[in-house]
């Protein structure tokens, strides 16, 4: 068990440090000490997400994530939840395109329990997995889909736009929630095969952050995880690379029972982990992040044609990221009016670039978001895993904010010129219909911006 980096803070890391280690079975471990509050966060990222799913089995990674809470070798039934909550901890798991994560935040003196539980399911889930859990969680996940997507206005916008933005057959063409038909089709054997293929110590990163003794923590990790055999044989995910731009404007008009017209769009943007992705993040913030952004000022304040207007960035490492536009119209305003104004603002921005004040504001906003994310042990643990799994280096998490602050106005303008163009977007237009007038199609409606996670438990 070779020790990794020593804990010396790098410039721009805000004094935070992390050490890296690797067990003989391939499990990568990242530790970060912080003794301000007696809490410790455990985060485990498995390098598997919906992009690894195959045709006819969409939603399997997420359904499987639910099964990870249904007991394992030494843990009965809902024991994972019961034991963590009974120890004063909180826990959850989420599935996105690129990874599945499981996390617990514990009072510091209960850290060992969380490690024991995570090791138990990593090493022995299949001892407990049975048909009863499978059938029950299939129903729960279908109800999750109904609650979060099918039964809310614009609820399936994310799914529709993703399907437009990534071509048929592309690993990101479908979203993590999957289709009802595929959820119905998944078998217990599919779940078992999924576990055997992807749930191995050498396909995971474990981070522990907070009021911990690193040596003791590492000893516990070796004790509980050390004997779980690693195995290879995980197929490489299908290639997600695509040309830099779409090359045409893709478009779908949805006639549904929604409360107002809407214009949504997804722009193809640089992959996460690149300087260009940070530049794109700043461009979208200047254009549509918050109430001093160009689109908000234009559409909501001046033209008064929209009730809400904003841009978000869905960062992806294994495929182009998506710049997510969401505008809900005001009153009887028609979509072409909005679209013309958006195009005008984007063209102006590409021609002029951001002003110095706009750069300052956008960087200040993104800096605060980073401070928020790194301000809790759970947030820090998640970011350390993210950079370790997606980019091979957890230390990058601690300096991420510095990189955003180094981006120049010229780089922001360059990415806007290259990418924020009408021929590089998929557009979704919503036209409302009344309940009685519509055809037999379900009244599907929406959650707002890009939802990339399927929460294990709903927040209330």
Partner 1 sequence: MTELATMDFHPQPQSGDARPWAFPAPERGTLDNGLTVLRCHRPGQQVVAVEVLLEAPLEAEPTGLDGVATIMARAFSEGTDKHSAEEFAAELERCGATLDAHADHPGVRLSLEVPVSRLPKALGLLADALRAPAFEDSEVERLVRNRLDEIPHETANPGRRAAKELSKELFPATSRMSRPRQGTEETVEGIDSAAVRAFYERHVRPATATAVVVGDLTGVDVDELLGDTLGAWTGSSAQPRPVPAVTADDTGRVVIVDRPGAVQTQLLIGRVGADRHDRVWPAQVLGTYCLGGTLTSRLDRVLREEKGYTYGVRAFGQVLRSAPDGSGAAMLAISGSVDTPNTGPALDDLWTVLRTLAAEGLTDAERDVAVQNLVGVAPLKYETAAAVASTLADQVEQHLPDDYQATLYRQLAATGTVEATAAVVNAFPVDRLVTVLVGDAAQIEEPVRALGIGEVSVVRAE
Residues 254-293 that bind partner 1 (CB under 8 A): 257-260, 290-292
Distance CA 119, CA 125 (A): 10
Choice from 4, 152, 242, 418 touching partner 1 (CB under 8 A): 152
CA distance 319 to 241: 5
Cα angle: 389, vertex 391, 393; to 5 degrees:
85
State which of residues 57, 160, 315, 361 lies at the interface with partner 1 (CB under 8 A).
Answer: 361
Nearest to 199 by CA among 30, 61, 98, 29: 61
Nearer to partner 1, 10 or 112 (CB): 112
Check: CB of residue 288 under 8 Å from CB of residue 311. Answer: yes
CA distance 83 to 180: 32
Annotated catalytic residue within 20, 53, 65, 444: 65
Between 346 and 378, CB nearer to partner 1: 378
Instruction: Report which secondary-structure segment, H or E, holds 132.
Output: helix 131-145
Q: Does 55 bind partner 1 (CB under 8 A)?
A: no
Binding of partner 1 by 406 (CB under 8 A): no
Cα–Cα dist 20/28, whole Å: 7
Q: How far apart are CA 126 and CA 10, in angstroms?
A: 42
43 binds partner 1 (CB under 8 A): no
Active site residue 135: no
Tokens of 319: 């495929």
Residues 2-31 as x/- pattern, contact with partner 1 by CB under 8 A: ------------x-----------------
Size of site (CB under 8 A) for partner 1? 92
Complex with partner 1: residue 239 or 431, whichever CB lies closer: 431
Q: Residue 76, interface with partner 1 (CB under 8 A)? A: no
Q: Which of 364, 403, 406, 423 binds partner 1 (CB under 8 A)?
A: 364
Residue in 107, 69, 103, 102 with CA at minimum distance from that of residue 88: 107
- Considering only residues 154 to 183 of the shown chain, the ones binding partner 1 according to CB under 8 A are none
Q: Is residue 360 near partner 1 by the rule CB under 8 A?
A: yes
DSSP state of 72: B
Please say which residue, 78 or 249, places its beta carbon nearer to partner 1: 78
Between helix 409-419 and helix 335-352 the angle, nearest 10°, is 140
Specify the DSSP class assigned to residue 148. Answer: I
Figure out which of the listed residues 56, 167, 331, 336 binds partner 1, where binding follows CB under 8 A.
Answer: 331
Q: Which of 56, 167, 229, 247 binds partner 1 (CB under 8 A)?
A: 229
Per-residue mark of binding to partner 1, 432-451 (x: CB under 8 A): ---x------xx-x------
The reply to whether 87 sits near partner 1 by the rule CB under 8 A is yes
Q: Please say which residue, 107 or 422, places its beta carbon nearer to partner 1.
A: 107
> DSSP state, 75?
B
For residues 115 and 403, what is the distance between their CA atoms, to the nearest angstrom?
Answer: 33
In this chain, which of 36, 243, 437, 439 binds partner 1, going by CB under 8 A? 36
Among residues 138, 315, 419, 425, which is the contact residue for partner 1, using CB under 8 A? 138
Q: Which stretch binds partner 1 (CB under 8 A): 167-175, 252-260, 271-279, 381-389?
A: 252-260
Q: Choose between 4 and 432: whose C-beta lies nearer to partner 1.
A: 432
Q: Which of 26, 214, 242, 307 is in the footprint of partner 1 by CB under 8 A?
A: 307
Taking CB under 8 A as the binding criterion, the range among 56-64, 158-166, 354-362, 391-399 that sits at the site for partner 1 is: 354-362
Give me the DSSP letters along 10-69: PTTSTT---EEEE-TTS-EEEEEE--SSSEEEEEEEES--GGG--TT-TTHHHHHHHHTT
Residues 81, 97, 199, 387: which binds partner 1 (CB under 8 A)?
A: 81
Q: How far apart are CA 331 and CA 459, in angstroms?
A: 32
One DSSP character per residue, 414-439 reads: HHHHHHSSGGGEEEEEEEE--TTTS-
The reply to whether 339 sits near partner 1 by the rule CB under 8 A is no
Q: How far is the CB of 411 from partner 1 (least distance, A)?
A: 20
Say if residues 203 and 234 touch (Cβ distance below 8 Å). yes
Question: Counting contacts by CB under 8 A, is residue 211 touching partner 1?
Answer: yes
Q: Which residues are catalytic?
A: 65
């Amino acid at each position: 068990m070779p020790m990794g980096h020593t804990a010396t803070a790098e410039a721009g890391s805000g004094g935070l440090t992390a050490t890296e280690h690797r067990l003989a079975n391939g499990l990568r471990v990242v530790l970060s000490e912080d003794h301000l509050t007696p809490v410790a966060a455990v985060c485990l990222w498995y390098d598997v997400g919906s992009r690894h799913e195959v045709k006819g089995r969409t939603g399997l990674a997420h359904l499987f994530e639910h099964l990870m809470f249904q007991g394992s070798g030494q843990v009965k039934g809902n024991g994972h939840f019961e034991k963590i909550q009974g120890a004063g901890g909180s826990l959850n798991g989420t599935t996105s395109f690129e990874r599945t994560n499981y996390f617990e935040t514990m009072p510091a003196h209960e850290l060992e329990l969380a490690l024991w539980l995570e090791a138990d399911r990593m090493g022995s889930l299949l001892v407990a997995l049975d048909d009863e859990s499978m059938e029950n969680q299939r129903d729960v996940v279908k109800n999750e889909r109904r609650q979060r997507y099918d039964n809310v206005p614009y609820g399936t916008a994310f799914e529709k736009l993703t399907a437009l933005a990534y071509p048929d057959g592309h690993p990101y063409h479908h979203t993590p929630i999957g289709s009802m038909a595929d959820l119905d089709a998944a078998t217990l054997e599919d779940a078992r095969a999924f576990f055997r293929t992807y749930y191995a110590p050498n396909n995971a990163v474990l981070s522990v952050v907070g009021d911990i003794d690193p040596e003791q923590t590492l000893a516990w990790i070796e004790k509980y995880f050390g004997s779980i055999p690693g195995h290879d044989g995980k197929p490489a995910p299908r290639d997600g690379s695509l040309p830099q731009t779409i090359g045409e404007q893709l478009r779908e008009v949805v006639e549904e029972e929604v409360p107002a017209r809407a214009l949504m769009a997804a722009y193809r943007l640089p992959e996460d982990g690149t300087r260009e992705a940070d530049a794109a993040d700043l461009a979208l913030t200047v254009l549509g992040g918050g109430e001093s952004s160009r689109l908000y000022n234009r559409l909501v304040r001046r033209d008064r044609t929209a009730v809400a207007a904003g841009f978000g960035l869905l960062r992806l490492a294994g495929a182009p990221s998506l710049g997510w536009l969401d505008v809900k119209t005001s009153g009887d305003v028609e979509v072409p009016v909005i679209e013309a104004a958006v195009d005008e603002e984007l063209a102006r921005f590409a021609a002029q670039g951001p002003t110095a004040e706009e750069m300052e504001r956008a960087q200040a906003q993104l800096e605060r978001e980073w401070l928020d994310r790194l301000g809790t042990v759970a947030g820090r643990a998640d970011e350390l895993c993210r950079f370790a799994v997606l980019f091979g280096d957890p230390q990058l998490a601690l300096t991420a904010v510095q990189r955003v602050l180094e981006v120049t106005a010229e780089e922001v303008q360059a990415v806007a010129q290259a990418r924020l163009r009408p021929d590089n977007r998929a557009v979704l237009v919503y036209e409302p219909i009344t309940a009685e007038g519509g055809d037999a199609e379900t009244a599907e409606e929406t959650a707002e911006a890009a939802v990339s996670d399927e929460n294990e438990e709903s927040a209330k």
